[in-house]
Amino acid sequence: MKLIIGLGNPGDRYMNNRRNIGFKVVDVLANNTNIQIRTKKKKSLLGTGDFEGHEIVLLKPQTFMDLSGEAVLYIASFLRVPVPRIIVIHDDYTLDYGEVQVARGPAEIDHIGVKSIAKELKSDKFIRIRVGVGPVAENVKEPSEEDVKKHMLADFRLEENFRIIQVINDAEAALRSILTQDIEDVLSRYRLGTRIK
């Protein structure tokens, strides 16, 4: 069994925010695998099913981003899923919009959802699918904290929405590689600076 977590904020207000790209990827995966994410358990929505012969649990924490770890710890403990079998799908404002990368270990940015999960699990060795939602501001090397927050909590622009299905499909392709291939091989092929094809 593998636990696949899409990060985001619950509620209609945040539905189309860049911050919620993790939710969007998990929703599409659920639709493509006929998994219904309806079970409510400990501040989470989850669904269980099969993905190419692999038992998976899809999880959308309902705790808001900064407390994602509380939901993840409870479900991972309840289902007895070890850290190496946890996959977190999250936004990354340092990657160009549409870029998808696979990583393991500490987050490359100060991501509150990833930090919360690492803190609660007492480990950062879970797999991460980084989905690019940047750049925050054109021609700005180091955007301010306020710039980043404004960007992440804004809805996708019209031109971004035209491409979002492809972005989500690329993230799903990354997940398929993780589930069906040797993880060390996937990490070596999709290291920093490599776009998933």
pLDDT tens figures, 49-108: 998 888 999 999 999 999 999 999 999 999 999 999 999 999 999 899 989 999 998 888
What DSSP string runs through 2-62?
EEEEE----SGGGTTBGGGHHHHHHHHHHHHHT----EE-SSEEEEEEEETTEEEEEEEE-
Looking at residue 197, what is its pLDDT?
Answer: 42
Residue 135: pLDDT over 90: no
Is residue 22 left, alpha or beta, with left meaning phi > 0 and alpha meaning psi from -120 to 50?
alpha
Which pLDDT belongs to residue 10? 95
Rounded CA gap, 60 and 191, in Å? Answer: 26
pLDDT in the model for residue 143? 82
In the predicted structure, residue 194 carries a pLDDT above the cut 60: no
Q: How many CB atoms lie within 10 A of CB 38?
A: 9
pLDDT for residue 8 is more than 60: yes
pLDDT digits (tens, 9 = 90+) for 33-52: 999 999 998 899 999 999 88
The mean pLDDT value for 115-131 works out to 96
Structure tokens at 96: 């160009």
Strands (E), 149-188: none
* Peptide bond connecting 135 to the previous residue in cis, omega within 30 degrees of 0: yes
Q: Which residue has the higher pLDDT, 8 or 106?
A: 8
In the prediction, which pLDDT does 144 show? 85
**Predicted pLDDT of residue 192:** 53
Domains of the chain and any CATH numbers: 2-189 (3.40.50.1470)
For the segment 169-182, what is each residue's pLDDT rounded down to a tens digit? Answer: 999 989 989 999 99
Yes or no: say if 79 and 2 are a contact pair by the CB < 8 Å rule. no
pLDDT of 102 reads 93
Query: Average per-residue pLDDT in the chain?
Result: 90
